[in-house]
Amino acid sequence: MSVTTQVIVTVQGRVQGVGYRAACADRARALGLRGWVRNRRDGAVEAFLVGPETTVLRMREWMWEGPDSALVTQLDVVSGYDEAPGPSFEIRPTV
């Protein structure tokens, strides 16, 4: 049995205007994760990932690459984020 993990991942670099959020949501859904992804006004992309620990780790590895037009320079992960995820993975508005 796999442990359920909840993390917030902040991705910096060229990650807005390159389809990063949509690609992130597609990948998260394909992996069966719950949570959300959104742009931040500071130019970063932020994602809340909920799922089995091994699957969240696979998603984090993908997030370093992102879509072809993205250039990720930094990935910060914070665990212990306490929010009840929805039933699927969604794209949220910019904050």
Q: Which of 17, 18, 27 is nearest to 9 (CA)?
A: 27
39 is catalytic: yes
Say which of 21, 34, 38, 92 is annotated catalytic: 21
27 is catalytic: no
- The DSSP element (H or E) to which 52 belongs, if any, is strand 45-52
Say which of 39, 40, 60, 92 is annotated catalytic: 39
Cα separation, 34 vs 47, whole angstroms: 10
The edge-to-edge listing of strands for the beta sheet with 71-79 is 71-79, 4-14, 45-52, 34-39, 89-91
Catalytic residue positions, numbered: 21, 39
